[in-house]
Amino acid sequence: ERRLIYTDAPWDGYVAGDGAALTAQQKRGALLFFGAVDPRINCAACHGGDNFTDNAFHNLLAPQLGPGKGNGYSRREDWGRANVTFDARDRFAFRTPSLRNVTLTAPYFHDGAYATLDAATRHHADIAGSVAAYDPSTNGIPPDLYSSLQAYAPERQLASAAPLLRNGLPLAESDLADLVAFLAALTDPAARDLTALIPDAVPSGLPLDPLPEPAPQIAASPVPADRMAFTGPAGALDSAPTAGDESVRLVDVAAQAGLAFRHGAFRNAIYQDMVAAMGGGLCWLDYDRDGWLDLYVVNSYAEDEIDEWQQDGALPHSTLFHNRQGAFEDVSRGSDADLSVRGNGCVAADFDNDGWVDLYVTAYGPNALLWNNGDGTFSEGAAAAGVDAPEWSSAAAAADLNGDGLLDLYVGGYINFKRKIPKPAGAFPQDYYGIPDRLYLNRGADGAGRVVFEEVTAAAGVVKD
């Protein structure tokens, strides 16, 4: 067994007996780091061992920056370890990183809050003061992320702060400079350029491809021209970019193409309705077999808006757009695909092997199975087929799991609002227990000619408490 281990940093040379491997400043920093100058300053308590990490989780009061993980009242916080343990004592705690090659791993902290090693080290000296005064504009953060900064909330964040850092460290300016110098001594110069590690030959003797030049942009596979035709108003689109054109841009032509859809949730106000807040999925399918992909968009609505919608005539419904060679037409009503459910997702598949693509729609409550009648219409038959699943289903997938030529169905469960987690570590969805997934095998047509499914979740071993 061969392993690549970086052990040629200046610090490794010093430990091996080369007294000149570290500068005088780096040696002073090492004494500080290991607590030899002041036991209150002992970085090695967390950054110990050969890799300079205890691999444990600590709350350093890192600035809460970026999209977060859906935690807290703002849904923009990241509770770190608590998202896994569901223990409130682990909130805002993140794993101690290795300090090997630390000068090459900027930006620092879990959300990249600090652009320089100096700034990250200063934060350790006064974590409470640093997070309270944090300014993203001085730390290399893009301006469009300034507004994502969550204000420091000591009443919630300080309780779980790392004990060794909670009251700050007695570090002078010269001490900070010495520590940063020592940290630089943990970087192996070879780690700055790894191209030297690419072998000239391999044991098989096969030739190696030359290293490609860095690609200026993501390459895309060409799409046949007859599937890219747009029949909207003339001039609606600029000329398409050609190969090598670095000014590629995307233009929203949904309205011109006839794709007018608005999700039904929160039409006039925002409600505490997490089912509606999840949004809806969509499926591309050629439901009429004309060679053009049609579009089915799943809709939903908030329970607090039901009366308002009904006063206007009807609840929001899912929409089927018929693709007429690039121009889309809403054919939901005439096709009977206009489900008024609190939907989440869908999967398009030919479950009855009649050559016509069917639709399975997941929802909060019974799911729906739309059988394609082959004449432009659909018939709902989830209950008759045994796949209605009365709980909250999030998504579904179709595949022939047993090789019998029939597509089977896997349905993902989501949240059980009747089972709330006591003392949850996070906000929704971490404050409720989940719902088990369901696995259905397609048994084909019964005596009446109807396709039926058999649930085999437990037998297949995919049940999780």
H helical segments located in 126-281: 127-132, 154-157, 173-184, 254-257, 274-277
Q: Which two tokens stand for residue 25?
A: 């400043």
CA dist 89 and 81 (Å) reads 9
Query: Phi and psi for 121 in degrees, rounded to 5?
Result: -70, -40
Residue entry with tokens 């992320």: 145
Q: Are 254 and 232 in contact (CB under 8 A)?
A: no
In the chain, what are the domain boundaries? 10-192, 255-460
Give the closest residue to 150 by CA, choosing from 207, 88, 65, 92: 65
- pTM > 0.75: yes or no: no
CA dist 438 and 455 (Å) reads 7
Q: Are 463 and 456 in contact (CB under 8 A)?
A: no
pLDDT of residue 32: 96
Q: Looking at 226-342, which runs of residues are DSSP E strands?
A: 282-285, 294-297, 319-324, 327-330
Helices 24-33 and 173-184, axial angle in degrees (round to 10): 100
**Tens of pLDDT, residues 358-380:** 999 999 989 999 999 999 999 99
pLDDT of residue 29: 96
Name the amino acid, one letter, at 220. A
CA dist 333 and 40 (Å) reads 73
State whether residue 227 is helix, strand or coil: helix
CA dist 364 and 211 (Å) reads 51
| Residues ≥6 apart with Cβ < 8 Å to 175 | 32, 41
pLDDT of residue 325: 93
State whether residue 117 is helix, strand or coil: helix
Q: Which residues pair with 285 in a beta bridge?
A: 294
Q: Which two tokens stand for residue 456?
A: 């085999």
Helices 173-184 and 117-125, axial angle in degrees (round to 10): 130
Question: What long-range pairs does 446-451 form, CB within 8 A, spacing at least 24?
Answer: 450/381, 450/384, 450/385, 451/351, 451/352, 451/385
| Continuous segment of H or E residues that includes residue 420 | strand 415-420
H helical segments located in 20-153: 24-33, 82-85, 117-125, 127-132
| Continuous segment of H or E residues that includes residue 385 | helix 382-385
CA dist 93 and 162 (Å) reads 9
Residue entry with tokens 């489900």: 339
State whether residue 360 is helix, strand or coil: strand
| Continuous segment of H or E residues that includes residue 57 | strand 57-58
Q: Are 45 and 36 in contact (CB under 8 A)?
A: no
> Mind listing the pLDDT tens digit of every residue in the chain (465 residues)?
344 555 689 999 999 999 999 999 999 999 999 999 999 999 999 999 999 999 999 999 999 999 888 888 788 889 999 989 988 899 999 999 999 999 999 999 999 999 999 999 999 999 999 999 999 999 989 898 888 899 999 998 999 999 999 999 999 999 999 999 999 999 998 888 777 777 777 676 777 777 666 544 433 344 444 544 444 444 444 455 555 556 678 899 999 999 999 999 998 888 888 898 888 999 999 999 999 999 999 999 999 999 999 998 899 999 999 999 999 999 999 999 999 999 999 999 999 999 999 999 999 989 999 999 999 999 999 999 999 999 999 999 999 999 999 999 999 999 988 888 888 777 778 788 889 999 999 999 998 889 999 999 999 988 765
Residue entry with tokens 């990183």: 97
Q: Are 309 and 301 in contact (CB under 8 A)?
A: yes
User: Is 174 exposed, middle or buried (CB count within 10 Å of its CB: 0-12, 13-18, 19+)?
Assistant: exposed
How far is residue 52 CA from its own chain's centroid?
Answer: 29
pLDDT of residue 44: 95
Name the amino acid, one letter, at 283. C
Q: Which CATH architecture has domain 10-192?
A: Orthogonal Bundle (1.10)
**Tens of pLDDT, residues 81-110:** 998 998 889 999 999 999 999 999 999 999
Virtual torsion, Cα 331, 334, 337, 342, nearest 10 deg: 90
pLDDT of residue 193: 79
pLDDT of residue 6: 54
pLDDT of residue 221: 42
CA dist 56 and 87 (Å) reads 15
Q: Which residues pair with 59 in a beta bridge?
A: 161
CA dist 172 and 182 (Å) reads 15
State whether residue 4 is helix, strand or coil: coil
Q: Which residues pair with 452 in a beta bridge?
A: none
Give the closest residue to 146 by CA, choosing from 155, 137, 158, 138: 137
